[in-house]
């Protein structure tokens, strides 16, 4: 009963703060638990996507046949003289494998955003099963939330949350060790009621959880907790200060090459991500190699970020050089707020 009257407050506050309201039915016909289940269902899709990627089919390049993606520009005549088209294609196959593997960044960037929104929704809904825990596809180890690998290759993402302000439970920058997805971390056994005399929503609960301060009412909120149009904005103010960082490790066995890289996403506040802000990926290590022909790839430039608009995508450049075999070449992936790059391949300097 209380949840129905509570929804307009949540919707108005989220609109004022630029947060999405699609998960909340304004007519009150959907209860908050269903809304939260929907949010976690969207999250599950993101988890599956980070573990496997799909790519556009290889198509004929105007110069070199079948090993490059549509629109790739190839200028390697000077360093491939005397080689057959097939030999050149075999050497360039690594480029297509890199394109496909780096597409993981799009899915994993979307997963970071989905995790941020899911945490906010858990707090906003106040109707998640207290005995519940992690969204589907995640395991939890020592404060890290780890996506399960899947697909042909092995992609593992570990996300961590850090306090964005000073609290009794932890200082700004400290790792949040309690489960941010479990409602009992905030309030144990919450039950909603409605006070018809004051028009307030009452949240009755058994005990305060370790992360109760993230509800915005201090370390000792009253019992019951009273929400009204004047104070409901507190409910997400503190949780949106939480910061998320992620590490992605990809060990990808592609048809022609082995691609291995580790990246880290910059620290971002949950509220920033929920409002549509993007973030940068920093490379820790990146390599690729093939046995036939014997080649090795070295990354020269990695300046790539995830943009969180229109479904998400990448922006920035990746430059690399491939050595070994019959000739060496260099490549450039230019991402222009898109999911696939504009690819250029030339003879190595």
pTM listed for this prediction: 0.79
The whole domain housing 305 covers 62-103+253-263+270-347
pLDDT for res 145: 93
Residues 28-58: b if buried by 16+ CB within 10 A, e if exposed: eebbbeebbbebbebbeebbbbbbebebeeb
| Choice among 39-43, 56-60, 120-124 with the minimum mean pLDDT | 39-43
- Flag whether 195 is in a domain: no
Per-residue pLDDT tens over the stretch 206-265: 999 999 999 999 999 999 998 888 888 888 899 999 999 999 999 999 989 999 999 999
Is residue 339 domain-resident? yes
Q: Could you tell me if residue 308 is inside a domain?
A: yes
The neighbour count for residue 296, using CB atoms within 10 Å, is: 16
Number of domains in the chain: 1
Residues sharing a CB contact under 8 Å with residue 83, sequence separation 6 or more, in sequence order? 326, 327
* Per-residue pLDDT reduced to its tens digit, 288-316: 999 989 999 999 999 999 988 777 899 99
> What proportions of the chain, in percent to the nearest 5, are helix, strand and coil?
30, 35, 35
Instruction: Encode pLDDT of 138-174 as tens digits.
Output: 888 989 999 866 544 588 899 999 999 999 999 999 9
Stretch 260-277: mean pLDDT: 94
In a domain, 337, yes or no: yes
Does a structural domain hold residue 168? Answer: no
- What's the rounded Cα separation, in Å, for the pair 25 and 318? 43
Question: In whole angstroms, how large is the CA radius of gyration of the chain?
Answer: 24
Is position 275 within any domain? yes
Compute the distance between CA of residue 117 and CA of residue 125 in angstroms, rounded to an integer: 12
The answer as to whether 37 is a domain residue is no
pLDDT tier for residue 18 given thresholds of 50, 70 and 90: low
Instruction: State the pLDDT at residue 51.
Output: 52
Is residue 44 scored above 70 in pLDDT? no
Taking the CB of residue 267, how many other CB atoms lie within 10 A of it? 14
In a domain? residue 259: yes
Average pLDDT in the chain? 81
Least confident segment among 31-45, 122-136, 276-290, 332-346: 31-45
Q: What is the Cα–Cα distance from 175 to 78, expressed in whole angstroms?
A: 54
């Amino acid at each position: 009963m209380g949840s129905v009257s509570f929804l307009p407050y949540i919707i108005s506050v989220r609109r004022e703060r630029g947060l999405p309201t699609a998960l909340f039915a304004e007519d009150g016909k959907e209860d908050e638990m269903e809304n939260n289940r929907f949010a976690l269902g969207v999250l599950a899709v993101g988890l599956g996507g980070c573990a496997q990627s799909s790519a556009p089919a290889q198509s004929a390049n105007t110069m070199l046949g079948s090993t490059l993606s549509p629109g790739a520009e190839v200028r390697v005549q000077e360093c491939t003289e005397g080689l057959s088209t097939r030999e050149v294609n075999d050497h360039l196959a690594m480029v297509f494998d890199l394109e496909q593997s780096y597409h993981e960044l799009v899915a994993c960037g979307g997963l970071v955003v989905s995790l941020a929104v899911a945490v906010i929704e858990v707090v906003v809904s106040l109707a998640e099963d207290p005995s519940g825990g992690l969204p589907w596809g995640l395991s939890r180890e020592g404060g890290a939330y780890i996506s399960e690998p899947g697909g042909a290759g092995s992609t593992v993402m570990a996300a961590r949350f850090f306090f964005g302000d000073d609290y009794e439970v932890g200082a700004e920058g400290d790792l949040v060790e309690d489960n941010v997805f479990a409602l009992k971390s905030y309030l144990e056994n919450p039950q909603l009621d409605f006070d018809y005399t004051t028009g307030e929503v009452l949240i009755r609960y058994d005990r305060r959880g370790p992360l109760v301060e993230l509800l915005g009412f201090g370390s000792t909120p009253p019992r019951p907790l009273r929400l009204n149009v004047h104070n409901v904005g507190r409910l997400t103010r503190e949780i949106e200060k939480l910061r998320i960082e992620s590490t992605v490790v990809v060990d990808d066995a592609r048809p022609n090459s082995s691609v291995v890289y580790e990246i880290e996403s910059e620290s971002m506040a949950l509220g920033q991500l929920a409002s549509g802000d993007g973030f940068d990926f920093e490379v820790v290590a990146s390599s690729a190699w093939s046995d036939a022909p014997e080649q090795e790839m070295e990354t020269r430039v990695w300046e790539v970020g995830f943009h969180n608009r229109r479904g998400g995508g990448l922006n920035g450049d990746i430059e690399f050089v491939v050595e070994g075999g019959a000739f060496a070449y260099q490549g450039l992936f230019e991402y222009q707020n898109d999911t696939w790059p504009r690819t250029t391949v030339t003879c190595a300097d």
